[in-house]
Structure 1
Amino acid sequence: MCADTQPGGITGAVVRQGDADYEDVRTGMLWNALRPERRPGTIVRAASESDVVAAVGWAGEQGLRIAVRAGGHSWCGSPLRDGGLLLDLSALRRYEIDAASATARVQPGLTGRELAPALAREGLAFPTGHCASVALGGYLLSGGLGWNSGCWGVACAGVRRIEAVTADGRTVVCSAEQNPELFWAARGAGPGFPAVVTAFHLDLRPRPAALAATTWVFPLAAVEAVAHWAVSAAAELPPLVEQAFVLGTASGDPSGPRTVTVAATAFADSPDQAARALAPLRGCPLTERPLSRDTDLPTSMDALYAGSAKIWPEGQRYAADTLWSSADYPTLLARLGEAMAEARSHRSLVLAPVSPVSQEESLTADMAFSVLGESYAVPYAVWEDPRDDEENIGWLRRTMAAVEPLTTGHYIAEADLTADPSHARRSFAPADWERLQRVRAAYDPQGVFHSYLTG
């Protein structure tokens, strides 16, 4: 669209249904190759923070509801809604780092791949998402279970204030002192946040100088015994070690065996500290013979991101869901292992971080995000052929049904909000869900911003 025909003084691209490039732009709004057939009436690709103000104002004049997209990593396609306006923030990628105060101001389209090395050059770090191409906007709004969260905490706890555009077109600053209720919601509300965040102000951490990894791989049939051992070892690991179980197919090889991997990464100040931190995982008393093992191997953020890219490659079709559970990991993973053995796709997997975030922090911090169980897991159906959609989505739904008796809640960032309308509500403690409804009513009484996707 020509600049002189732009609505509302918007300088970024505006694409409407019927435009020649509409379908390419629409499908480009999601990273997942499995894209719902929902079609926004207008897509605004903001070129600046002032474009956000203009777009919200124009949508209000036109009576359009607004959905917001930063990086498009929503598995269930929350940003795509029928009709209304989709506000794309992916071009807002500027950042300013103040090394002296260990703080940063970042825009929502900035990705972990861009922020992490910029911080490293200043000797600083932040718990960015495990996938390098995840943008900060949706990640931080949903809580942010990222790298080294057992030590650094959930990412949204590192947000000290935000700048946002409200439903009535005002630009506001939100912090513990200013607009505290909207600030509370910004730390965990996810796609139900009733405003558009244009900037996050972050508290940063010292950069770990030495990273090391230990990995054990066993046959999937040994999952319960492996979980008992690894959880016992985890009790001796310091918080600077991030440990997770991965249930899947060895090396993604279609002919390979189904396996359970115990992966641990130390984020340390020295190689010696990293080796000491990983010591409880150096030996394994299990009689089951491991398929492979690597202990205390030096690694880097680039290598960690490369490993994530192998697990979640671009161009695939994904369906995912999350669960918190009151069951211990041996009980939970035994049931998920049975489901994994039935997965049609060799790319599908179950990820189960051990103690993904400090429970004490979640109980004391004033934020919408909360820990809803002792254990946490994410089943991912991953496949390539559209003809296999029904079977793979069906596997995910059957897997979640199998663990439903053990499920105490969900994590809003990756919950399958198309599966059950209760998934959004069950992603929050009951009191927090009620508080969130009050915040939405106060800041968006007309429902300008879409709430959670439930179908």
Structure 2
Amino acid sequence: MSEHSRRSGTEGPFLRRGDADYETARARALWNELKPDRHPDVIVRAACERDVQEVLRLAVSRGLQLAVRAGGHSWCGSPLRDGGILLDLSGLDQWEIDVESATATVQPGVIGSRFAMELARHELAFPAGHCPTVALGGYLLSGGLGWNSGLWGVGCASVLEITAVTADGEVLRCTEEENPGLFWAARGAGPGFFAVVTRFRLRLQPRPTALATTSYVFPLAAVGPVADWATETARELPANVELSLLLATEDASGATDGPGPKVVVVTATAFANSRTEAVGALHPLRSCPLSERPLSRRLDEPTSLAVLYDASMDLWPEKHRYAADTLWSHEDYALLLAELGDAFAKAPSGKSIVLAPVSPVSQQDELLRHMAFSVLGESYVVPYAVWADPAQDDVNVRWLRDAMHAVEPFGAGHYIAEADLTADPSRARRSFTAADWDRLQSLRAEYDPQGLFFPYLSA
């Protein structure tokens, strides 16, 4: 334990700005290599749940605001603020799985892919995030658009209970019956949540034992007809098929990160319990009536969660720089992707992509009324600027903003987990219905009247 840690009462490392390891810890706070020029006064990495209470006491005693990070996957860098304390929960990474009740208790620093692989050993599953390095804390607080969400719903829909430390240092158990307001906010409020969740209790699902994928690759020029076909076909697919459209740059090997032609990729994955069921679920995609011939196609290929995670890492490679934004819309995918396709044709980086998850999220309207997360449109798109060279920061961020500007007139809102909250002050508010935004403000005033927790960026 360091001298600073002894004086602060925490077991985990305690770093002030100017300390030898401070800049390393600040950079480590974000997975994204593009680090905003914001500097907390203090960074504390919690070694145990008791550290959380100690840090909150310290923040109150010194009049400092608090920001929280679990895995650091916020594209816009929400955990990094100027001044105040950054509480790093990545060291809280334990889980307990109860096979008999099909539930688990996880700490916020648990990495989703590791948890998913461990669950598979027990023939269980959970809708963890698509990127394998995402921690569950921020993912669940923001809603959690993850694997097989058409059948299982968003990740936060499977949260049964949380343990939260509030601004006054009180440890609360929160469910739909006990502290229901805080529980409601914890399922979707994202980086503006006004407490620290130290544990989530989750409902688990039976593990799908047979996964299969069908994919088509078309020239980018065909994006309109392809989007129409994919959207129409998605209506024929069962809920356990996840279908997406991807605008990418293909290299000679077929990987979507090269210097070759720009393409639109249609991918559908069935999460089934037998090979026969998987092939049957993907059957509507076996024939493609488009006059635009696909550049390639693969039908009913057996796959696994490990392979899907590898493919995700190809899209979002480590040690790269990222800018991202999101849009919910009531317009159809053909219109949105035609606009984004024109912008994508001018993308300065061959690694940049535009993702459109076509399969509808299982909305379960009754359930959604009990959480801050909302599905704000029938269509959802996410452009990502992805590059490696710091000298290209300005041109890539400008491309991302221009791409969003093309589709924002058709927007109905944003997804708080991946929205560019630095773009303008309305992003956070527009990530919720008006009634939900007002309720979040009321709950913040109730649970954090002194403003201990930083609000949303640009809110």
TM-score (norm 2): 0.97
CA offsets per residue over residues 363-411 of structure 1, 9 Å max, x none? 7441000011110000000011111111110011111110011111000
Tell me what 2:205 maps to. Answer: 205
Change in Cα spacing, 1:382 to 1:356, as seen in structure 2 (3 Å) is farther
Tell me what 1:152 maps to. Answer: 152
1:7 offset after TM fit, Å?
3.3
Tell me what 1:32 maps to. Answer: 32
1:5 offset after TM fit, Å?
5.4
Q: Does structure 1 residue 386 correspond to structure 2 residue 390?
A: yes
CA offsets per residue over residues 412-433 of structure 1, 9 Å max, x none? 0000000011000000000000
Q: Does structure 1 residue 15 correspond to structure 2 residue 19?
A: no
Q: Alignment partner of 1:6: what SS?
A: helix
For residue 128 of structure 1, what is the amino acid of its counterpart?
A: A
Change in Cα spacing, 1:5 to 1:24, as seen in structure 2 (3 Å) is closer
1:6 offset after TM fit, Å?
2.3
Tell me what 2:444 maps to. Answer: 440
Contact 1:8–1:57 (CA<8 Å) still a contact in 2?
no
For residue 401 of structure 1, what is the amino acid of its counterpart?
A: H
Tell me what 1:323 maps to. Answer: 327
TM-score (norm 1): 0.98
1:106 offset after TM fit, Å?
0.1
Query: Counterparts of 1:192 and 1:255 in 2: how far apart (Å)?
Result: 39
Query: Counterparts of 1:218 and 1:6 in 2: how far apart (Å)?
Result: 60
1:48 offset after TM fit, Å?
0.4
For residue 216 of structure 1, what is the amino acid of its counterpart?
A: Y
Q: Alignment partner of 1:213: what SS?
A: strand
CA offsets per residue over residues 250-300 of structure 1, 9 Å max, x none? 123543100000001000011110000000011101111111110100000
Tell me what 1:282 maps to. Answer: 286
Tell me what 2:136 maps to. Answer: 136
Q: Alignment partner of 1:212: what SS?
A: strand
Q: Does structure 1 residue 333 correspond to structure 2 residue 368?
A: no
4+ residue runs of structure 1 moved beyond 6 angstroms?
Answer: none
Q: Alignment partner of 2:214: what SS?
A: strand
For residue 61 of structure 2, what is the amino acid of its counterpart?
A: E
Note the 1:295-444 alignment, pairs <5 A: 295-361=299-365, 364-444=368-448
Tell me what 1:226 maps to. Answer: 226
Residues paired across the two proteins, number: 455
Contact 1:3–1:11 (CA<8 Å) still a contact in 2?
no
Contact 1:34–1:318 (CA<8 Å) still a contact in 2?
yes
Greater CA deviation, 8-17 or 363-372?
363-372
1:449 to 435, 440, 453: 453
For structure 1, list consecutive stretches of 5 or more residues without a partner in the other structure. none
1:18 offset after TM fit, Å?
1.0
CA offsets per residue over residues 327-362 of structure 1, 9 Å max, x none? 011111111111111111100110000134123447
Tell me what 1:45 maps to. Answer: 45
Query: Counterparts of 1:322 and 1:89 in 2: how far apart (Å)?
Result: 26
Contact 1:362–1:370 (CA<8 Å) still a contact in 2?
no
Q: Alignment partner of 2:117: what SS?
A: helix
Greater CA deviation, 232-241 or 352-361?
352-361
Query: Counterparts of 1:414 and 1:436 in 2: how far apart (Å)?
Result: 19
Query: Percent identity at matched positions?
Result: 63
Note the 1:54-93 alignment, pairs <5 A: 54-93=54-93
Query: Counterparts of 1:230 and 1:120 in 2: how far apart (Å)?
Result: 30
Query: Counterparts of 1:4 and 1:143 in 2: how far apart (Å)?
Result: 36
Change in Cα spacing, 1:253 to 1:100, as seen in structure 2 (3 Å) is closer
Tell me what 2:181 maps to. Answer: 181
Contact 1:362–1:369 (CA<8 Å) still a contact in 2?
no
1:114 offset after TM fit, Å?
1.4
For structure 2, list consecutive stretches of 5 or more residues without a partner in the other structure. none
CA RMSD of aligned residues (A): 1.2
CA offsets per residue over residues 160-209 of structure 1, 9 Å max, x none? 01001000111111110111000000000000100000000000100001
Query: Counterparts of 1:414 and 1:341 in 2: how far apart (Å)?
Result: 22
Query: Counterparts of 1:5 and 1:283 in 2: how far apart (Å)?
Result: 63
Query: Counterparts of 2:448 and 2:383 in 1: how far apart (Å)?
Result: 34
CA offsets per residue over residues 59-82 of structure 1, 9 Å max, x none? 111111000000000000000001
For residue 186 of structure 1, what is the amino acid of its counterpart?
A: A
For residue 47 of structure 1, what is the amino acid of its counterpart?
A: A
Q: Alignment partner of 1:67: what SS?
A: strand
Tell me what 2:101 maps to. Answer: 101
